[in-house]
Each structure stands twice: as structure tokens, then as C-alpha cells.
Amino acid sequence: MSKNQQNDKEVSSVTSLESAQRLEAIKNLIFGENIQQIDNEFDTLKKHVEQRKEELENFIEATRKELLTTIDNLSTDLNIRITDVEQAFNEKTAELDHKKVDRNLLGTLLVSLGEKIMKD
């Protein structure tokens, strides 16, 4: 690195330091002693927001798990009920196979099956 480049970096570094010091002095002039209090309140508020964010994320995760469990339970219950309806339907149709087909009874069974499917 040439001597000029080194000098330019040193000047730039000094200028940046002076700018930061000037900015700090201006802040102190504008806000005075209240700057520390404002910084503390800001930090407190920031921590509070982060804590609430974490609580909400935990709540969302717990709710997601609960919903997935409920959906799984509902799916299982629905499958059991459909199986029960299928068995009952098969039993009734087996009875009809051995008897003369009663169209009214068959129609009633089909309507009943449709209603049970719509309920579930």
C-alpha cells in the first residue's frame, strides 16, 4: 500500500471518528440527559416486543399441533362411522337378497344412508 493510500485511510478514519463525535454531541445537545432514559425505555420496549413475539410464536405452534390432532381424531371418527354405515348397509342388502326385493324398504335404506353421510 502506498504512503498516500495509507494517509487517505488515516484521514478517513479520523474524519469518521470526528463525525461520530459530532453526532453524539448534537444528540446530547438536543436530548440532553433524557437520552439515557429514552434509550432505556426503547430497550425495554424492544425486549417487551421480542417477548410478545416469542409468546405468539409458541401459541401459534401449540394451536397448530392441537388443530392437527383434532383433524386426525375427526378423520378417524369419520372413518369409523362410514365403516359402521357400510356394514349396516351390507347387512340390510344381504337380508334383501334372501327375500323378495321390497322397493320401499330399499329406497328408505338408501335415503337413510344418504342422510347419515350428509350429517357426518
Q: Is residue 15 part of a domain?
A: no
In a domain, 9, yes or no: no
Q: Which amino acid is at 94?
A: A
Residue positions counted in the chain: 120
The beta-strand segments (E) located in the chain are: none
State mean pLDDT over 87-104. Answer: 75
Q: Is residue 73 part of a domain?
A: yes
C-alpha cell at 40: 432505556
Query: Has residue 101 been placed in a domain?
Result: yes
Q: Does a structural domain hold residue 95?
A: yes
Exposure of 51 in the CB half-sphere (CA atoms within 13 A): 6
Average pLDDT score over residue span 113-117? 83
Q: What is the pTM of this model?
A: 0.46
Residue 114 lies in a domain: yes
Helix (H, G, I), strand (E, B) or coil at 86: helix
Distance CA 114, CA 22 (A): 81
Q: 83 lies in a domain?
A: yes
Residue 10, in any domain of the structure: no
Mind listing the pLDDT tens digit for each residue in 16-75?
Answer: 778 888 887 777 777 777 777 877 888 999 999 999 999 999 999 999 999 999 999 999
Q: Domain count for the chain, please give it.
A: 1
Domain of residue 68: give its range.
33-119
